[in-house]
A and B are shown apart, each in its own frame.
Chain A
Amino acid sequence: MPSPDELAAEFDMLMRRAGITVPAERRATVLAGYADLCDQIALLHNRYAHTDEPANVFRLTPPEGA
C-alpha cells in the first residue's frame, strides 16, 4: 500500500489529469474518501485469471436455443 504522502500525490495527479480543481478546504475530506476507495479497489485486483471475462462481454447473436 502506498504511504499517505504517496496516496496524496497520486490523488493530486489524478485530479490534475481529469482537469478537476478540488477546493482546498475539501481536499482532506476527499482524500480520505480516496484512501477508502483504494482499499475497496484492492479487493478487486489479483483475483481473476485471464479467462475470467467481465459481465458486459456481449453476444452478437442469440445463444443456441434462445
Chain B
Amino acid sequence: MDTAELSIAAMGQALRDGSVTSEQLTRAALDRVAAKDSALHAFVLVTRERALADAHRADAELKASIDRGPFHGIPYALKDIYDTGGIRTTCHSKLRLSNVPAADSVVAAKLTEAGGVLLGKLATHEFALGGPSFDLPFPPARNPWRVEHVTGGSSSGSATAIAARMVRMAMGSDTGGSIRGPAAWCGLAGIKPTYGRVSRRGVFPLSWTLDHCGPLSRSVEDSAITLGILAGHDRADPASADVPVADYRATLNQGVSGLRIGMPRAFFQTAPAVTHDVLAGIARTADQLRAAGATVEDITLPDYALFAAAGRVIMMAEAYAIHASDMRTRLLDFGTITANRFVLGAAITAADYINALRARRELTDAVNAALSRCDALLTASALCTAPRFDAPVDALSSASPMQTIPFNVTGHPAMSVPTGLASDGLPIGVQIVGRPFDEAMVFRVSRAVEVLSGWESMALPV
C-alpha cells in the first residue's frame, strides 16, 4: 500500500479496519521526509520522537476503542509560526531562533486533541512575509514540481511538504494569500476560512486584522475534514466569532446544479501579470460549472487596485507596529527582503491607515452585495505559474502575481483549487469565494471544480 496516496478519509478507514497503523503511516512519512527534504527544504525541524509517540498513542487508543475522529492517527505538520509547547518556533527568523513556547497554539492543541501526529515545523517566509530569501537561518522551500521554481509564500514549506507527498495536510496562514498562493503554485487545495472562524491564538501575527489560519492539503476533502476540527469559537481570541460550524463533508459532493456563481472578470482579465493559460483555465472552469448545471455570470466589484491598496496599507501598518522596536535596534538581523518591506510601514500615516479601513468597509459591503445575488464567486488565485528562483522579482512592488488579498481585506472565505497544468507543465488553479462563514459552499463548489477538471487523477511529480 502506498500510504502517501491515501486521503485523510482513506487513512482513517485503513486505521479502523486494521490494514495500517498510525505508526506505519508515520514511519512512511518520516522516511519520505528523510529521502526528499535535503533537496526540498520543507522542514525546519522534524519532530521524529514526538511523531512516533503521537502515533503509538493513536494506535493504542484505537485498540482500546478510543476514537478521536477523522484526524486520529493522521500525520501532519505546522508552519513554523504556530506555537508548539516545548518545541522551537522560529518564524524562520534569526530573531526567534531560540524561542521555545511554553504552550501550544490553539490550532496545534486542537490537532493533538483530535489525535493528529505532528511530524515537525515547516519553512515559511520570514515572519510570514519576507521571502523567498537565502539570507535567513534556513533555506527557502522548493517547489516539488520543479525545484528551481519557488513555491509561493509565505506557507512555502507547507505546500512543499504536501506536494512532495510527505503529508496530506499542513497548516498555513494567510494574510494576503499565503495559503492560497502556494496552493495554486504547487497544485494543492488551500482554504482561507472566514475571518474569525479559526482561532489565531498562539500564532505569530503578521497583521492582526488580515491574519487567517487554515490548512493546505492534497484535496478539497482533506481540507474540509481539517477545518471541521479547527473551526469554532475561542473566547480568548478577540477576533474569534461565535458562529455555528457546519458539517463540511455532508454537502461536499452535492454538485453545483442550480447554483449561481459570479465572476469578477475585471479583476483578472487585463491584469498585467495574467497569462493566457490562467485565463483559459478560468474560462474552462466556468464552462465546466455551467455544464454541471450552475449559472456563471459576470459581476462587477470595485477596482482591484482599491482592494490591493487597502490590504497593503493595513498589512504594512500593523506589521510595523509589531516589529517597530526590532526595526530600530536589530534591522540587520532580519532578512533583507523582510526588513525592506517592514521599513515601509514606518512611512504610513494614521490618515493612510484609517482611509484603508474606510475602504475596507466599502469593499466588504460590495462583496457582500455581490454574494447576496450569488452563492459563490469564481476568480483567479495566481495569475501565472510559479516563477524560477532566479527570475527577477521586485519584492517591494505592488504588482503581485496573486489576486488573493481582496478577501483578506473583506474576511470572506476563499479557496484556491487546482484545475490543471499550464503549457510550461506547472499547476494552475482558480479561487472560489463564499459568503461569511459559508465555508461549506466554498468546499462544495471547489470540490466540483476538482472533479470536473480531472485534477483528482493528476499524479504529483515526486
**Interface-facing stretch out of B129-137, B261-269, B302-310:** B302-310
Chain B residues with CB under 8 A of A45: 351-352, 355
Q: Do A21 and B352 touch across chains, with their CB atoms under 8 A apart?
A: no
Q: Considering the chains assembled together, what is the distance between the CA atoms of A17 and B313 in angstroms?
A: 19
For chains A and B in complex, what number of residue pairs have CB atoms within 8 angstroms? 103
- With an 8 Å Cβ cutoff, the count of chain A residues facing the other chain is 31
Chain B residues with CB under 8 A of A33: 340-341, 344, 395-397
Q: Do B328 and A41 touch across chains, with their CB atoms under 8 A apart?
A: no
Chain A residues with CB under 8 A of B394: 32
Chain B residues with CB under 8 A of A20: 327-328, 331, 343, 346
Looking at the assembled complex, report how far the CB atom of B228 sits from the nearest CB atom of chain A, in whole angstroms: 26
Looking at the assembled complex, report how far the CB atom of A20 sits from the nearest CB atom of chain B, in whole angstroms: 5
Q: Which residue of B lies closest to A44 (CB)?
A: B355
Q: Does A60 contact B (CB under 8 A)?
A: no
Looking at the assembled complex, report how far the CB atom of A30 sits from the nearest CB atom of chain B, in whole angstroms: 5
Q: Does B275 contact A (CB under 8 A)?
A: no
Residue from the list A21, A36, A41 in contact with B331, Cβ < 8 A: A21
Q: Do A55 and B397 touch across chains, with their CB atoms under 8 A apart?
A: no
Q: Which residue of A lies closest to B303 (CB)?
A: A43
Q: Restricting to B306-348, which residues have a CB under 8 Å from any CB of A?
A: 306, 308-310, 312-313, 316, 324, 327-328, 331-332, 336, 339-341, 343-344, 346-348
Q: Do A40 and B328 touch across chains, with their CB atoms under 8 A apart?
A: no
Chain B residues with CB under 8 A of A44: 306, 309-310, 313, 352, 355-356, 358-359
Chain A residues with CB under 8 A of B355: 41, 44-45, 47-48
Q: Which residue of A lies closest to B399 (CB)?
A: A36
Q: Considering the chains assembled together, what is the distance between the CA atoms of A5 and B261 in angstroms?
A: 49
Q: Does B357 contact A (CB under 8 A)?
A: yes
Q: Which residue of B lies closest to A46 (CB)?
A: B355
Most chain A C-beta atoms within 10 Å of own C-beta, residue among B324, B328, B336, B343: B343
Q: Does B31 contact A (CB under 8 A)?
A: no
Q: Do A41 and B313 touch across chains, with their CB atoms under 8 A apart?
A: yes
Chain A residues with CB under 8 A of B327: 18, 20
- Residue interface bits B205-249, CB-to-A below 8 A is 1, else 0: 000010000000000000000000000000000000000000000
Q: Does B362 contact A (CB under 8 A)?
A: yes
Q: Which residue of A lies closest to B352 (CB)?
A: A41
Chain A residues with CB under 8 A of B359: 44, 47-48
Instruction: Give the bracket for the number of chain B residues in contact with chain A.
Output: 35 or more
Looking at the assembled complex, report how far the CB atom of B121 sits from the nearest CB atom of chain A, in whole angstroms: 30
Q: Considering the chains assembled together, what is the distance between the CA atoms of A33 and B336 in angstroms?
A: 13
Q: Considering the chains assembled together, what is the distance between the CA atoms of A11 and B360 in angstroms?
A: 26
Q: Restricting to A1-41, which residues have a CB under 8 Å from any CB of B?
A: 11, 14-15, 17-23, 26, 29-30, 32-34, 36-37, 39-41
Chain B residues with CB under 8 A of A30: 340, 343-344, 396
Q: Considering the chains assembled together, what is the distance between the CA atoms of A15 and B343 in angstroms?
A: 8
Q: Considering the chains assembled together, what is the distance between the CA atoms of A38 and B180 in angstroms?
A: 27
Q: Do A14 and B358 touch across chains, with their CB atoms under 8 A apart?
A: no
Q: Do B357 and A55 touch across chains, with their CB atoms under 8 A apart?
A: yes
Q: Does A53 contact B (CB under 8 A)?
A: yes
Q: Considering the chains assembled together, what is the distance between the CA atoms of A10 and B366 in angstroms?
A: 35
Residue from the list A11, A17, A36, A48 in contact with B396, Cβ < 8 A: A36
Q: Which residue of B lies closest to A21 (CB)?
A: B331
Given contacts A18-B346, A34-B344, A39-B398, contact A54 B357 (CB under 8 A): yes
Residue from the list A34, A37, A56 in contact with B357, Cβ < 8 A: A56
Most chain B C-beta atoms within 10 Å of own C-beta, residue among A19, A30, A43: A43
Given contacts A19-B328, A21-B331, contact A36 B340 (CB under 8 A): no
Q: Which residue of A lies closest to B365 (CB)?
A: A55
Q: Do B358 and A54 touch across chains, with their CB atoms under 8 A apart?
A: yes
Chain B residues with CB under 8 A of A64: none
Chain A residues with CB under 8 A of B305: 40, 43
- Sorted nearest first, the 10 A-B pairs with minimum C-beta distance are A33-B396, A54-B357, A18-B346, A55-B360, A40-B309, A44-B355, A55-B361, A19-B328, A43-B309, A14-B347
Q: Please name 17 further chain A to chain B contacts, defined as beta carbons within 8 Å, in addition to the given A40-B305, A44-B352, A48-B358, sorted by A numbering.
A: A18-B346, A19-B328, A20-B343, A23-B331, A23-B332, A30-B343, A33-B344, A33-B396, A39-B398, A40-B309, A40-B313, A41-B309, A41-B352, A44-B313, A45-B355, A48-B359, A56-B209
Q: Can you list 22 A-B contacts (CB < 8 A)? A: A14-B347, A15-B346, A17-B346, A20-B331, A26-B340, A30-B343, A30-B344, A30-B396, A32-B396, A33-B340, A36-B397, A37-B312, A37-B313, A37-B344, A40-B309, A41-B348, A43-B309, A44-B356, A44-B358, A44-B359, A45-B352, A48-B359
